[in-house]
Structure 1
């Protein structure tokens, strides 16, 4: 099942380790603290247990949302590149 995992963890070392766990489980980073990908129910539980163990007593919040196929297809998304540099469109400069 497709899942969205987001977190807010103030400690840099813990946050980096949590991101590594997400990548190890095949999730793709979509924002600095947000990952998406396919995870079975067992892998969802396993990943959250690893995250909980690594978090220990450190401050943080981690949310994992399973997303059904229909909801995923209904998602809305905007993605665009940054603003033009010196009034030129991206990629229109000299090479």
Structure 2
């Protein structure tokens, strides 16, 4: 397994919703409105990206899946204010 962060910028609401649902289907957790994170092995990463490419189709948008090594993950910081 490997930790990944998946972010996207998709103007079309319907396509953006389908991308988010697909991320959830693969067990990723929403960390921001257009960002998901979680553990995926290499095969699942490849499979997910193929499915997301098909979901995006010819619509404008950008989807980025970034693996994060354990060392860098341990250095992560977060500031969050609920209000």
Taking structure 1 as the reference length, what is the TM-score of the superposition?
0.84
Q: Which has the higher helix share?
A: 2
Name the residue aligned to 1:40.
41
Highest Rg: 1 or 2? 1
Matched with 2:29 is 28
Moved over 6 A (4+): none
Query: How much does 1:2 deviate?
Result: 0.4
Q: Equivalent residue of 1:5, what SS?
A: strand
Say whether 1:75 aligns with 2:42.
no
Deviation of 1:35 after TM superposition, in Å, equals: 0.2
Unaligned runs of 5+ in 2: none
With CA pairs under 8 Å and 6+ residues apart, which has the higher RCO, 1 or 2?
A: 2
Shift of 1:56: 0.6
Could you tell me which residue of structure 1 aligns to residue 20 of structure 2? 19
Report the counterpart of residue 4 of structure 1 in structure 2: 5
Structure 2 residue matching 1:15: 3-state secondary structure: helix
Q: How much has 1:76 moved relative to structure 2?
A: 1.1
Structure 1, unaligned stretches of length 5 or more?
83-95
| Structure with a larger share of its residues in strand | 2
What secondary structure is seen at the aligned counterpart in 2 of 1:14?
helix
The offset of 1:80, in angstroms, is 1.9
